[in-house]
Amino acid sequence: MINQFKEMSKMTRDEIAQYVKEFPVAVLPIGSTEQHGPHLPLGTDTIIATEISKIICNRTGAILLPTLSFGYSWVWRDIPGTVSLEQDHLEIVIKDIAHSLSRYGIKLLVIVNGHDANNASMKYATRELMDEIKMNVIYLFYTDDLEKIIKEYCQSETWYGMFHACEFETSLMLALRPDLVDMNKAVKEYPLKPLLYGKSTISLENLSESGVYGDPTIASEEKGNNMLKVIVEKMVNYVYEACKDIIGK
């Protein structure tokens, strides 16, 4: 991919000011820093969100913001390497970023999330921002029909509908950053699900020995690329739709 998009962190103040006048749309990747089994890096969610955001920016012309690498990772809080923000703190950070951008003319903020537990913070931050600033915010977490995509392109079952360090995420990483994946260490694990899971404080970190929920051993770059095409196309369409409402493009 030829990088034709603009990265805010590599631009000057004058370049930003001019670009915002021409196309006032920014993309914020959000991920996490948490364990992803023995074969994937701690930044898996962050890397996937960032790489997808780059493609979106390349396709739409939006400005790429620096990635927010920490998310709400309560369920892995005792695993070495995990850095977790409180859910309401993450919401505040998202709102602060949006307020900052709105001051100099950004009209649309697109949040691209790679970590499921961040979704609540994005949702409520966006609702509150609607009453606070004159800037539209949309938040994306893969696609609405993600389960259908996984069933179509993956051979393994998810762990009760949840995916973590599994065939899905591992395939995406093999497509985006294969240099960071060690398939020799990939293991399959489907931990038993306690009756009170999801209705109590039972934590994922206590259920799996490997930190894997699913079967990454059959992941492949081809599967990752096929799923990325569908995911990115849907996300780009969402951005174009929001652009029509906000800036008439």
Collapsing DSSP states into helix, strand and coil, what is residue 110? strand
pLDDT digits (tens, 9 = 90+) for 178-237: 999 999 999 999 999 999 998 999 999 999 999 999 999 999 999 999 999 999 999 999
pLDDT digits (tens, 9 = 90+) for 136-174: 999 999 988 899 999 999 999 999 999 999 999 999 999
pLDDT at 246: 72
Mean pLDDT of the chain: 95
pLDDT at 41: 98
What domains are defined for the chain?
A: 6-246 (3.40.50.10310)
More confident residue, 74 or 245: 74
CA-closest candidate to residue 23, choices 100, 106, 98, 137: 106
Residue 1 has pLDDT above 50, yes or no: no
Report the alpha-carbon distance of residue 80 to residue 42 in Å, rounded: 10
Q: What is the mean pLDDT of residues 108-114?
A: 98
For the chain, state the CA radius of gyration.
Answer: 18
Report the alpha-carbon distance of residue 117 to residue 87 in Å, rounded: 9
**Bridge partner list, 140:** 112
Q: What is the mean pLDDT of residues 106-135?
A: 97
At 182, the amino acid letter reads: D
Report the alpha-carbon distance of residue 168 to residue 52 in Å, rounded: 15
More confident residue, 3 or 89: 89
Structure tokens at 88: 């309401």
Q: Is the dihedral of CA 157, 161, 165, 169 positive or negative?
A: positive
> pTM (2 decimals)?
0.95
Q: Got the DSSP string for 24-90?
A: -EEEEEE--B--BTTTB-TTHHHHHHHHHHHHHHHHH-PEEPPPB--B--GGGTTSTT-BB--HHHH
Q: How confident is the model at residue 2 (pLDDT cuts 50, 70, 90)?
A: very low
